């Protein structure tokens, strides 16, 4: 089961699944409404990889999402969230370069990350701007017909470890474990990336 906010992405995923499998269903929804499409307590494992949750820009949106997750998890089920934890004032700007090809089409994407400044880096009072990591993407698409370039910019909400734990503590979920991408226990030292394994508080009677 999977979902995406963009209808074109859902259509693409459905075509790929029909052609290559595995047996799965996809639908259009967002982080704050997806549970309306699923029976309660119907999911054993849910996952959101590589900072996707940081597109949600407020505590209210995040708590709504956590409520949706708690609603669909079966007893004993868990939610794996891949999240980068910041250390304000320590992180430096960074850059990723991604390349891929299929047939005669080749794509190169350069992504630059400008860390959130934190309350001492120009964001008054630690507000929204102080917690905004700016992401700048430049994509170049090479085909026999020519070259196309696409630029985009967006923001990801930053969390230090205290902010993240405080938010989860206000939700119907709890942090059960933190692991690396191989599933091994991780003593996360910010700034760094980890997979937070969350479960519903009711599962432990908490």
Per-residue pLDDT, 127: 66
Band the pLDDT of 128: cuts 50, 70, 90. Answer: confident
Domain locations along the chain:
31-86+159-204, 94-156
Query: pLDDT tens digits for 70-90?
Result: 999 999 999 999 999 999 999
What is the percentage of the chain residues whose pLDDT exceeds 70? 94
pLDDT at 140: 99
Mean pLDDT of 165-169: 98
d(CA 135, CA 112): 6
Q: What is the mean pLDDT of residues 179-202?
A: 94
Q: What is the pLDDT of residue 164?
A: 98
Categorise residue 40: left if φ over 0, alpha if ψ from -120 to 50, beta otherwise: beta
Reply yes or no on domain 31-86+159-204 having CATH 3.40.50.150. Answer: yes
Q: What is residue 23's predicted lDDT score, i.e. its pLDDT?
A: 87
CATH 3.90.1150.10 fits 94-156, yes or no: no
Q: What is the mean pLDDT of the chain?
A: 93
Confidence of residue 52 (pLDDT cuts 50, 70, 90): very high
110 Cβ neighbours under 8 A, 6+ residues apart: 95, 96, 97, 137, 138, 139
| pLDDT value for 65 | 98
Looking at residue 14, what is its pLDDT? 95
pLDDT at residue 125, rounded to an integer? 43
CA dihedral (10, 13, 15, 21) positive or negative = negative
Confidence of residue 21 (pLDDT cuts 50, 70, 90): confident
pTM as predicted: 0.89
Sign of CA dihedral 120, 122, 126, 130: negative
Q: What's the pLDDT at 22?
A: 84
| pLDDT of 183 over the 90 cut | yes
């Amino acid at each position: 089961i999977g979902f995406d906010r963009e209808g074109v992405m859902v259509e693409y995923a459905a075509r790929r699944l029909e052609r290559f499998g595995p047996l799965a269903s996809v639908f259009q929804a967002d982080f704050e409404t997806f549970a309306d499409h699923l029976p309660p307590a119907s999911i054993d494992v849910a996952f959101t990889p590589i900072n996707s949750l940081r597109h949600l820009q407020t505590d209210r949106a995040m708590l709504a999402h956590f409520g949706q997750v708690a609603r669909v998890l079966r007893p004993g089920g868990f939610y794996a969230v891949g999240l980068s934890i910041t250390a304000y004032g320590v992180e430096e700007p960074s850059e990723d370069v991604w390349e891929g090809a299929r047939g005669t089409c080749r794509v190169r994407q350069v992504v630059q990350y400008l860390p959130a400044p934190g309350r001492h880096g120009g964001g008054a009072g630690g507000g929204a701007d102080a917690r905004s990591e700016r992401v700048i993407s430049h994509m170049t698409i090479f085909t026999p017909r020519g070259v196309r370039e696409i630029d985009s910019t967006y923001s990801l909400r930053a969390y230090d470890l205290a902010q993240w734990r405080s938010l989860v503590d206000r939700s119907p979920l709890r942090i059960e474990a933190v692991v690396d991408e191989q599933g091994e226990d991780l003593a996360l030292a910010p700034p760094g990336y980890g997979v937070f394994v969350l479960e519903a508080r009711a599962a432990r009677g908490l």
